Amino acid sequence: MAYLFTSESVSEGHPDKVADQISDALIDNFLAFDADSKVACETLVTTGQVILAGEVKSKTYLDVQQIAREVIRKIGYTKSEYMFEADSCGVLSAIHEQSQDINQGVDRASKEEQGAGDQGMMFGYATNETENYMPLALDLSHAILIELANLRRENNEIKYLRPDAKSQVTLEYSDDNKPVRIDAIVVSTQHDDFGPEAEMLAKIKKDIIEILIPRVKAKYPQYAHLFNDNITYHINPTGKFVIGGPHGDTGLTGRKIIVDTYGGKGAHGGGAFSGKDPSKVDRSAAYATRHIAKNLVAAGLCDEVLVQVSYAIGVAKPTSINVVTYGTSKVSLTDGEISKVVENVFDMRPYFIEQRLKLRNPIYSETAAYGHMGRKPETVTKTFQLPNGAPKTVTVELFTWEKLDYVDQVKAAFGI
């Protein structure tokens, strides 16, 4: 029987994402000057205020206020009428040193035996319904907001946009689990107060349908066939949306874990990513399981897969690795047998994850909006600066967990 499935995304100006981006900017700056930094940094943003809290073990000292302001400025909160503005907001830091009780469970005399930074389970998912092996509804939700942010920055075709926004896409799937059309699209965007409410809402709806959606179709032609004349559009369905961002809703690090991952497909262990250095397996093992899942599907082992790993705090070897192929496996092995082979191909001890995916580099700011998964691997050059210090320029690889660099090993291991 045909069915509907929905995923949502939020923009870089959403208050929770503002918090995520500040936390990850701090991670990047710590790692840029001390690759062995241990960081767990939380951010709260509200009207005119940023509060930083967390635990850090690092050899470097940062101007955390300046870093937070630069992130806020880059997002686009640069006007006083937003009631949250890069240069005037208060920034309070309550960051302190990491507990030695936690650190002793992670650091080891032999780096190879580095313990997991926490207990818990992490999941990675992949499906062949899109070119980047991501669930389609989430991919489209991200695409809508990425293009909306482009329109805002261009300030040409649409001039009233403000940074805060959310999107949602509902897809209809056929009996054989294939997406056939878009059933509904929801877009709520913050905007300037530029007239009577009814006129503003009519203008915004018209611009979203006639300017934004055609740009999304043009930029993502592989999805153009899913758009149709029967899509139900809900554009700013509550009415005007002038008050937004941290002034409209307090934001916290780690509150958009489903947006960050698979849009409700697969599963989630519950741990957030942003603000955590890679010794925290909530982050590093979630990236590693995505890397496994994507390479398994790309190698032709299955059409869809969920990979679970779990850890005990302070222990290097995972307590379990489990692979679920949803009955789509192309090899004559049970999912349990597939799990054992995967365990032999991918070393899931924390140190080896960090090395394999090059996670001790300042690569995290780019992950903090529009999803940590399904992004394009690329090499970039970034510049960081200490207070009263010379700039430091580093070249790093982004989204290494999205590389299809284990396809040959997977094929060899399974005889594909």
- Identify the DSSP state of 323: E
Would you say 280 is a known binding-site residue?
yes
Q: Is 260 known as a binding-site position?
A: no
Q: Is 109 annotated as a binding residue?
A: no
User: Are the CB atoms for 126 and 296 separated by under 8 Å?
Assistant: yes
Alpha carbon of 139 to those of 36, 128, 184, 365, 398: distances in Å? 34, 13, 15, 19, 19
Element (H, E) at 259: helix 257-260
Is 165 known as a binding-site position? yes
Element (H, E) at 257: helix 257-260
Is 107 annotated as a binding-site member? no
Residues 6+ apart with CB under 8 A from 337: none
Question: Is 241 a known ligand-binding residue?
Answer: yes
Q: What share of the chain is helix, strand, coil (3-state, %, to 5)?
A: 35, 25, 40
Residue 414 assigned to a binding site: no
Question: CA 193 → CA 33, 125, 160, distances in Å?
Answer: 44, 42, 8
Consult the annotation and say whether 97 binds a ligand: no
Which two three-digit tokens encode residue 45?
């943003």
299 is in an annotated binding site: no
Burial profile 168-187: b = 16 or more Cβ within 10 angstroms, e = fewer = bbbbbbeeeeebebbbbbbb
Q: Name residues whose C-beta falls within 8 Å of residue 110's C-beta, 6 or more positions apart in sequence.
A: none
Residue 357 near residue 288, CB atoms below 8 Å = yes
Q: Residue 316 and residue 29: Cα distance in Å, rounded? A: 27
Instruction: Tell whether residue 249 is among the known ligand binding residues.
Output: yes
- The annotation status of 166 as a binding-site residue, yes or no, is yes
283 marked as part of a ligand binding site:
no
55 annotated binding-site participant: yes
Q: Is 98 annotated as ligand-binding? A: yes
Q: Mark the binding-site residues for L-methionine, compressed into ranges.
A: 55, 98, 249, 280
Residues contributing to the annotated binding site for K(+):
42
Annotated binding site for Mg(2+): 16
Annotated binding site for ATP: 14, 164-166, 240-241, 249, 255-256, 272, 276
Query: Residues within the annotated binding site?
Result: 14, 16, 42, 55, 98, 164-166, 240-241, 249, 255-256, 272, 276, 280
